[in-house]
Structure 1
């Protein structure tokens, strides 16, 4: 049975953005941001409990969440019917062999999970997030106008967006958002990166890397064809074009504070204040994000063919819960060495350019 690592406290909406809007936004933005921030403590407690039970009792996802294990691709979509966390997963609207549901969001979440499964299976040889055929469960229409999407330790949960922060219906449409959040599940079952400071920023960065690769894979894009944006078009236009830019961190939206180099690293406290983002996990992830982008661009072709496989092997076989940036960088260099001198040179140069090595 798979050994479950600590479930990350993760969601696609950076809490520092929500905290800023809650303090400085329009009345509508303040209300939407407070609604999005409100459930965080409850889900944080749930994820912590799932992680602790998994570690102490060596339980897998099936026992913890009542979810089925399968020998192949198994997907299920549920309608939460805007009733919140006590109604999760909700009412089943589509299963693996079912025709499309009447609900567009349910179909988008279902298909996006399927594309992510296919990417991991076809490209990386991984059988679902736990590598043991875990059923990928999605619940849509969570809460009322909820501006977030997240992996809760056993399943995916999507809000509809309020139309004030996130565009209504945008979160289930964004394949990179789906790939990002499901990758938190992969990290949970492998490296178990602690969701704080540098390990937490690596946790977020690996999710951005594979979220972007899922999108590129679905579009058959090469590294130089990709936009390297995370959540492009999910925010309402007045807030910005995307949640993050991997190629140019700090440029995704007005007020984006992501650094692109270690000289600008933000040493923030992990003090439960949302504006500090668990020690800057969504903020400082810009540094390893750009390192991956530079390595992928230098290696050329499809980013998942070489760079993606290097990062995947590092994540699943080498990283530990408390791994720091410099350690992760060296691990990817070591993995690249096993592929070719060219790969090692490209990866090492990328980390040097962002000031980590």
Structure 2
């Protein structure tokens, strides 16, 4: 007797792009279809969260000397992408519909995901000389059309997974470069940090993904800090939703104010820090504070944010002094130390870092 292989659930824990508190607001305030879509997304993220905590804990005990980039043979980096089609199921091993050596897909969503995966790879290689997510040439794999009307996108530890959105509140998640770059950047944090996904260290995890996400977009568009809008998830809000994006790095708390989504709850200063047991201790909420600190540094320095400010933040993420349980203050001190190492103790970069963290209420 033959049996049909079971469809596997996602193999690792996720960093979901749309926070649970937004989905809860939708479930409480939305219509029947909106409520159904929100509950589906909540159920998925809930079943995976414990797996994510376990994966991050395992990674945190590895010595930095065990990082894969230090043990691989020297070879020219090559970009390797593939996109699978889940066909509106939970199957993450669906057919490959786009690959590096293949022809463009007729599926516009698959092609959009493929292009955005590539732009993110290009950014990390060209700006930070990083060979893929793990620094060791890891193939970047995307999955499109995950479940039906799924209102989220996530990094599951090995893959970038995109729902299509229900079309009522969220849509076209695979078409947003900041969504794709944000989630892939969780993979970068996973390999360079990690930062435990709870409380302030979790907020730093989310903030780093936001920062790198907007830097990928600014770099791809050639935008200076003055030209950039500093928004994450601009493209995913459906028509009729009252808002500009899901988050604003420059102005936390102003991204949206909608009858169903609620009001953006992010603070931009420690005076408004949110103590909560929800959202893994406010990881998506309080990330607004380090987000704004980064924009203050970048704005003070001017030019291209991925250069001086981006180098400081990226080097701080991989710094040996950064603990998995780092608080804002520890990370802030590391950014100052990195800035002084890169540019000198009396440099304008150090002054910018000090003023920025002071400006959001984090004292060094």
TM over 0.5: yes
- Alpha-carbon spacing, 1:82–1:60, altered in 2? closer, same or farther (3 Å): farther
Aligned residue among 112, 115, 120 for 1:116: 120
**Aligned match of 2:358 in 331, 352, 356?**
352
Partner of 2:284: 282
Conserved 8 A contact 1:201-1:281? yes
Q: Which deviations, in whole Å up to 9, do the C-alpha atoms of 1:57-111 show, x marking residues without a partner?
A: 99999xxxxxxx9942110111011111xx2131101111112111111111111
Q: Which has the larger radius of gyration?
A: 2
Structure-2 separation of matches of 1:75 and 1:289: 29
* Aligned counterparts, 1:293-304, within 5 A: 293-304=295-306
Structure 1 position 26, deviation (Å): 2.3
Task: Please state if 1:16 is matched with 2:21.
Answer: yes
Distance in 2 (alpha carbons) for counterparts of 1:257 and 1:219:
29
Q: Identify the match of residue 47 of structure 1 among 29, 34, 52.
A: 52
State the aligned residue count. Answer: 334
In 1, the alpha carbon distance for the partners of 2:349 and 2:359 equals 15
Deviations 1:164-214 (A, max 9, x none): 2202xx211110111100000000011110111100000000000000000
Where structure 2 has 5 or more consecutive residues not aligned to the other structure, the ranges are 1-11, 69-74, 258-262
One of 79, 85, 94 as aligned partner of 1:79: 85
Distance 2:62 2:328 in 1: 31
Structure 1 counterpart SS, 2:162 = strand
Computed over aligned residues only, the root mean square deviation of the Cα atoms, in angstroms, reads 2.1
Q: Which residue of 2 aligns with 1:223?
A: 225
Alignment partner, residue 37 of structure 2: 32
- CA separation of 1:194/1:48 partners in 2, compared to 1, >3 Å: closer, same or farther? closer
CA spacing shift, 1:178–1:302, aligned 2, 3 Å: same
Aligned to 2:249: 246
TM-score normalised by the chain length of structure 2: 0.87
Alignment of 1:80-99 (within 5 A): 80-84=86-90, 87-99=91-103
* Pairwise CA distance, 1:10: 1.3
CA distance in 2, matches of 1:191, 1:56: 11
**Structure 1 spans left out of the alignment, 5+ residues:** 1-6, 62-68, 270-275
Query: Aligned to 1:346, what secondary structure does the other structure show?
Result: helix
Pick the aligned partner of 2:190 from 163, 183, 188.
188
In structure 2, the CA distance between the partners of 1:57 and 1:210, relative to structure 1 (3 Å rule), is closer
Are the aligned partners of 1:8 and 1:195 in contact in 2 as well (CA < 8 Å)? no
2:188 and 2:357 map into 1 onto residues whose CA distance is 23
Which segments of structure 1 move beyond 3 Å, counting only runs of 4 or more? 45-61
Q: Is the 8 A contact 1:223 1:302 kept in 2?
A: yes
Helix, strand or coil: the match of 2:241? coil
SS of the equivalent of 1:88 reads coil
CA–CA distance in structure 2, aligned partners of residues 9 and 88 of structure 1: 13
Whether contact under 8 Å (2:97, 2:105) holds in the other structure is yes
In structure 2, distance between residues paired with 1:50 and 1:327:
23
Matches of 1:153 and 1:33, distance apart in 2? 23
Correspondence for 1:332 among 307, 322, 335: 335
